[in-house]
Amino acid sequence: MSDTPLIQLVDVTKTYHLESGDFTALNHVSLDIMENDFVAIMGPSGSGKSTIMNQLGILDVPSTGELYIDGKNVAKMTNLERTHLRRDAIGYIFQKFYLIPLLSAYENVEYPLILKNKTRDTTGRASAMLEAVGIDKEKSEHRPNQLSGGQQQRVAIARALVNDPKILLCDEPTGNLDKKTGFQIMDILCNLQKEGKTVILVTHDPKVAEYAKRTIRLDDGRIAEES
Amino acid sequence: MIGDIFLQLSVRSVKLNFTRSLLASIGIVIGVVAISTMGMLGTNMSLQVEDQLSASANTIVITADAIRMGPPGTSSSSSSSSGISKTQLNKIKAAVGTNGTVIPLYSTTTQFTSGNVQGRGTIYGMNPSDVNEFLTIGNGTNIAGINEALIGLSLAESIGVDVGDRLKVSSASEGPPTNSSSSASRATITVVGIIDDRGTVTDSVSTDNGIVVSKEWYTAQYGGKDQYTQVNVIVDDTDMITEIEDAIDARINTDEKKQSIRITDASSQLDTISSTLETLTLFCLAIGGISLVVAAVSIFNVMMMSVNERVQEIGILLSIGTETGEVRRMFLYEAFILGLLGAGMGGLMSIVIGYSVVDAMIGTTEYFFMPASIFYVPIGMFVGLVVCVISGLYPAWRASNMDPIDALRSD
């Protein structure tokens, strides 16, 4: 394992230009996240949690400061390079699952593989990922709206993992699930971290945050506390 | 392409909103049918006219340059007008030589009666031996005696005349009213044969509504002996038309300042008619095109609805690493599918509707399946398809350029 941080935020500021005036969502944030880390980001609404997740997920770029992912300066990459880095290095798990409604569970998991390899999956990896998160063959043929919340989140985890990314970004992964299912999902994430993934999750729930090795509290766009 | 996940997403999106997609495609169907039918109609008209005109494509028509108002001798004005003289006829014969047949003709417009039925039409005077050179007697025989005549099929049907019937023909042609014409007597001729209809002709001998008599009877009634209204030359080899025309022109039009005769052939008339029909067809196609513009707006609207309904899905696709080009492709596939649906249905309906329209408007479907005509079906389909894809360009561009963060937040 390298000593270089997998993710590095250097004095990152994100300002939105609104009609009511400029709004600084992230204010000079510096943060290093090492490979195989398990980081929980907490904070009240409007503290900058979503903004930092968008930065880490390369869905947005800093207004000032620098963001390095796997040693690459995100601001200096082209749109296409950022898209490819997002596809290959980052797996997303959202609170609302965000599965593609027109595709079956299997196709949802297969989709990132198709994006990467430009061909349908013939290796059986998509099926294996679904099996690993507890979705059987019969369920894998179902469309997302035919699955329960817990099953959808499992499919979302399988989709996030199918391209073997280094980073797993989880935005309130248990937010839409009952307690029991939520803990099952957290167990899966813990196991993934143990297997070598770097897990970053945003949560309101202190019990969920307890699974993490590090907890960062944001307030008003700044890191208020780190433990 | 069949296994393309983006194509599958597009197909499923169309299936999900099938009624809406189908209604939007109907616009394209109408456009394709309009373009194909108009194009086929115009082409069928052109083909029919060309076919009819090509029957007389080997004919050179020579007329005197002065306009004849009536047969020589019937009025003071007509006595000064000139036909083609015997000398000029001989020069024409010399110029043609053995390369064709020279047919001198007299003609004028006259009135006639058959029993109580009155009619009017053109009466042609010619050598009976020339009749079979370019006319077909469908019923009866050729002129043998001086008071015998042939009559065009359309005229015979309209005035109810058959072989053996008699016609009283005015001995004065229809021209400016003169004392001599108003007091003209009527001569009787017997119909011995019916001439088949010739349709549109370029040799100026429209016998469908005319009467053919011997030149002797004609000149006895109307005068003007050896002052022919026109001379037709039927050439043996159409490639020699220009050469023969030049030879005739050189022998007769010797005065550079004033032409004595005018020489025309089917090709110049064919060019004029074809050009007119082409303009007409283009005009009709443009009208058909307007319906495609309306269809394009409908497709654009449906595509924008599809994009607006799938904003969150687009956000998901972009956030998990879909390239903007791939999102664009997905929506262009959708527009293509709508186009394929519309063009496919439109193509089939074009054949059915086009066939009926051509049959109703032209009266024959003889030319309908000829390549130049049926070609408009794939052309219409292709244009419909292209219009659809073009209509999908902006919605596809808009989808691919969405901010994934905003798109994900939308509900």
Give yes or no for a contact between B62 and B231, defined as CB atoms under 8 angstroms apart.
yes
Distance of residue B297 Cα from the nearest chain A Cα, in angstroms: 26
**Is residue B69's pLDDT more than 50?**
no
Provide the token pair at B130. Answer: 């020339």
Give the span between the Cα atoms of A94 and A82, in whole angstroms. 20
The verdict on B306 touching A (C-beta cutoff 8 Å) is no
- Which residues does chain B have within 8 Å of residue A114's beta carbon, measured at their own beta carbons? 5
Nearest CA in chain B to A91: B320
Q: Cβ distance B170 to B112 under 8 Å? A: yes
- Other Cβ atoms within 10 Å of B237 Cβ, number: 11
Query: Which residues, 6+ apart, have CB-to-CB distance to A135 below 8 Å?
Result: A105, A151, A154, A155, A158
Q: Is B5 on the interface with A (CB under 8 A)?
A: yes
Residue (of B375, B324, B383) closest to B31 by Cα position: B383
State whether residue B76 sits within 8 Å of chain A by CB: no
> pLDDT at residue B79 above 60?
no
- What average pLDDT score do residues A153-169 get? 89
Check A111 against B320: CB less than 8 A apart. yes
State the pTM of this model.
0.71
Domains, chain A, with CATH or none: 35-61+75-226 (3.40.50.300)
Give the confidence band of B315 by pLDDT, cuts at 50, 70, 90: very high
Q: How far is A82 from chain B (nearest CA, A)?
A: 9
Q: State how far residue B286 is from chain A, nearest Cα, in angstroms.
A: 40
Nearest to A102 among B9, B324, B404 (CB): B9
pLDDT (tens digit, 9 = 90+) per residue, A183-207? 888 888 888 889 888 999 998 888 8
ipTM: 0.90
B316 CB near a chain A CB, below 8 Å?
Answer: yes
Q: Which long-range contacts (CB under 8 A, 24 or more apart) does B253-262 make?
A: B258/B65, B259/B65, B260/B64, B260/B65, B260/B88, B261/B62, B261/B63, B261/B64, B261/B65, B261/B84, B261/B88, B262/B62, B262/B63, B262/B64, B262/B65
Indicate the residue of B313, B326, B405 with minimum beta-carbon distance to A54.
B405
A165 and B CB contact within 8 Å: no
Q: Which pLDDT belongs to residue B126?
A: 93
Give yes or no for A59 touching B (CB within 8 A): yes
Residues of A in contact with B324 (CB under 8 A): 79, 83
Closest chain A CA to residue B13: A102
Q: Residue A180 — very low, low, confident or very high, per pLDDT cuts 50/70/90?
A: confident
DSSP state, residue A41: E
Cβ distance B323 to A83 less than 8 Å, yes or no, reads: yes
In DSSP notation, B130-141 reads HHHHH--EEEE-
**One-letter identity of residue B338:** L
Locate the chain A residue with the closest alpha carbon to B17. Answer: A102
State the amino acid at position B237 in one-letter form. Answer: D
Residue carrying the six token digits 């009208």: B287
Residue B276 DSSP symbol: H
pLDDT digits (tens, 9 = 90+) for B115-126: 888 888 899 999
A107 touches chain B (CB under 8 A): yes
- Percent of chain A residues past pLDDT 70, beyond the cut: 99
Chain B residue closest to A109 (CA)? B320
The runs of H, that is alpha helices, within B310-375 are 311-319, 324-362, 371-374
For residue B145, pLDDT over 60 is answered with: yes
Quote the minimal CA–CA distance from A218 to chain B in Å: 20
Max distance between CA atoms of chain B, in angstroms, equals 101
pLDDT (tens digit, 9 = 90+) per residue, A28-80?
999 999 998 999 999 888 888 889 999 999 998 899 999 999 888 988 899 89
Q: Which residues contact B49 (CB under 8 A, 6 or more apart)?
A: B200, B273, B274, B277
Looking at residue A185, its pLDDT comes to 83
Is B405 in CB contact (< 8 Å) with chain A? yes
Instruction: Reply yes or no on whether the pLDDT at B78 is more than 60.
Output: no
- pLDDT (tens digit, 9 = 90+) per residue, B162-208? 999 999 988 766 554 444 444 456 788 999 999 998 877 778 888 89
Backbone angles phi, psi at A216, to 5 degrees: -115, 125
Indicate the pairing of strand B230-235 with strand B186-195: unpaired
Q: In this model, does residue B72 exceed pLDDT 60?
A: no
> Which of A87, A111, A116 comes nearest B5 by C-beta?
A111
Read off the pLDDT of each residue in B55-77 and give the average, rounded to a whole number: 63
